[in-house]
């Protein structure tokens, strides 16, 4: 099974192992594809620039590859990355046996994607932290690059997916304002959220703008099950739709509202995309059924821009 491109529900008892498999598969893919402009030896080497001291030259690598690299030490890599995960109840959609089918849900996807990003950051000796929010910020750690810190965050993510909770509402705007103030200046902030915010969306846009005002680089992974939440591909029969955050129920036949629903979702997405463009935020629509490659590629592209 290619973890990068699709993901069936499976034993998530070892999130760290799965994250490593995702990253290793991605790195192998980089070597085999035109997407080779990004070094995957982040932690050990950087390309030698003519005129620099040869004190830290890796002559063994030069002998093997005929390319000149210098050894990179921890103090040379100072990127800070805060991984932010929305853990409100809507992120538990779809439930594991939804519609009689086993499905990956948005929170599982976001947690494993976050774990894979942390694995890559650790390889690069960059610092990373974790923030989890629903109606308020539940977990917030500072950015560090140590192995002990990495394992602590893995255990936090494992605990998050092992203990789901219902009826947790979202207050993304308030949480993002708090994150903007608490995260170290000039950080890369990577947000996983379905952006189902109760109330005025302008408050959400204000919070995103606050992150940019505080000099952070922001990548928003708009995390959705595209088939169900965007395309509304349900069988044409009666359903009881339940709001996972409020518990409110609506009884209807799917084809009666499909076109109207899709129209409203597209309007919301377009408004969000345009606001992100206005604030120079990377907007990545992230379909949980398409695997993790788009997430890791978006990270590498943004990281490359920050270091040039």
Residues 121 and 270 in one domain: yes
Residues 111 and 204 in one domain: yes
236 compared with 62, residue with greater pLDDT? 236
| Distances, alpha carbon 63 to alpha carbons 37, 47, 69, 285, in Å | 22, 15, 11, 44
Residues 153 and 64 in one domain: no
Residues 163 and 246 in one domain: yes
Could you read off the pLDDT of 147-188 as tens digits, one per residue? 999 999 999 999 888 876 766 777 788 889 999 888 877 899
**Exposure on the CB side of residue 1, measured as CA atoms within 13 A:** 12
Residues 301 and 252 in one domain: yes
Least-confidence region, from 114-123, 200-209, 250-259: 200-209
Please say whether the beta carbons of 168 and 135 come within 8 A: yes
Range of the domain at 219: 20-32+77-306
Q: How high is the pLDDT of residue 54?
A: 72
Could you read off the pLDDT of 254-265 as tens digits, one per residue? 899 999 999 999
Q: Is residue 8 part of a domain?
A: no
Residues 219 and 150 in one domain: yes
295 compared with 47, residue with greater pLDDT? 295
Q: Is residue 156 part of a domain?
A: yes
Q: Is residue 103 part of a domain?
A: yes
Least-confidence region, from 43-57, 108-122, 144-158, 262-276: 43-57
Q: Is residue 7 part of a domain?
A: no
Question: With b meaning 16 or more CB within 10 Å and e meaning fewer, what string describes 219-228?
Answer: bbbbbbbeeb
Total Cβ atoms within 10 A of residue 82: 25
Q: Is residue 57 part of a domain?
A: yes
Residues 224 and 140 in one domain: yes
Q: How many domains does the chain have?
A: 2
What residues pair up with 58 in beta bridges, in sequence order?
none
Average pLDDT, the chain: 82
Residues 94 and 69 in one domain: no
**Exposure on the CB side of residue 214, measured as CA atoms within 13 A:** 20
Q: For the chain, what percent of residues have pLDDT higher than 70?
A: 80
Please say whether the beta carbons of 11 and 96 come within 8 A: no
Q: Residue 225 sits in a domain of what CATH number?
A: 3.40.50.410
Residues 197 and 97 in one domain: yes
13 compared with 209, residue with greater pLDDT? 209
d(CA 94, CA 160): 16
Q: How high is the pLDDT of residue 32?
A: 55
Residues 71 and 129 in one domain: no
Residues 272 and 174 in one domain: yes
Q: How high is the pLDDT of residue 109?
A: 94
pLDDT at 44 over 80: no
Nearest to 299 by CA among 307, 49, 76: 307
134 compared with 76, residue with greater pLDDT? 134
pLDDT at 302 over 90: no
């Amino acid at each position: 099974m290619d973890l990068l491109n699709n993901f069936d529900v499976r034993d998530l008892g070892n999130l760290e192992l799965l994250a490593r498999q995702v990253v290793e598969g991605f790195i192998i893919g980089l070597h085999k594809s035109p997407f080779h402009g990004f070094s995957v030896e982040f932690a050990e080497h950087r390309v030698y620039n003519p005129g620099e001291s040869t004190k830290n030259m890796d002559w063994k690598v030069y002998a093997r590859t005929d390319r000149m690299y210098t050894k990179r030490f921890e103090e040379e890599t100072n990127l800070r990355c805060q991984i932010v995960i929305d853990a409100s109840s809507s992120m538990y959609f779809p439930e594991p046996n939804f519609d009689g089918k086993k499905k990956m849900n948005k929170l599982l996807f976001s947690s494993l994607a976050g774990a894979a990003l942390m694995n890559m950051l650790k390889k690069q000796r960059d610092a990373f932290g974790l923030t989890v929010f629903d109606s308020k910020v539940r977990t917030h750690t500072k950015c560090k690059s140590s192995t002990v810190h990495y394992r602590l965050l893995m255990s936090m993510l494992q605990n998050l997916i092992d203990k789901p909770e219902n009826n947790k509402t979202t207050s993304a705007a308030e949480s993002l304002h708090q994150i903007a103030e608490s995260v170290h200046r000039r950080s890369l902030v990577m947000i996983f959220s379905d952006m189902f915010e109760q109330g005025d969306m302008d408050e959400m846009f204000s919070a995103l703008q606050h992150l940019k005002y505080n000099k952070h680089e922001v990548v928003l992974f708009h995390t959705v099950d595209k088939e169900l939440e965007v395309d509304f591909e349900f069988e044409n029969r009666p359903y009881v739709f339940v709001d996972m955050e409020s518990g409110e129920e609506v009884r209807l036949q799917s084809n009666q509202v499909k076109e109207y629903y899709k129209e409203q979702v597209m309007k919301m997405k377009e408004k969000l995309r345009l606001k992100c463009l206005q604030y120079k935020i990377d907007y990545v629509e992230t379909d949980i059924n398409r695997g993790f490659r788009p997430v890791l590629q978006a990270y590498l592209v943004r990281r490359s821009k920050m270091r040039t």
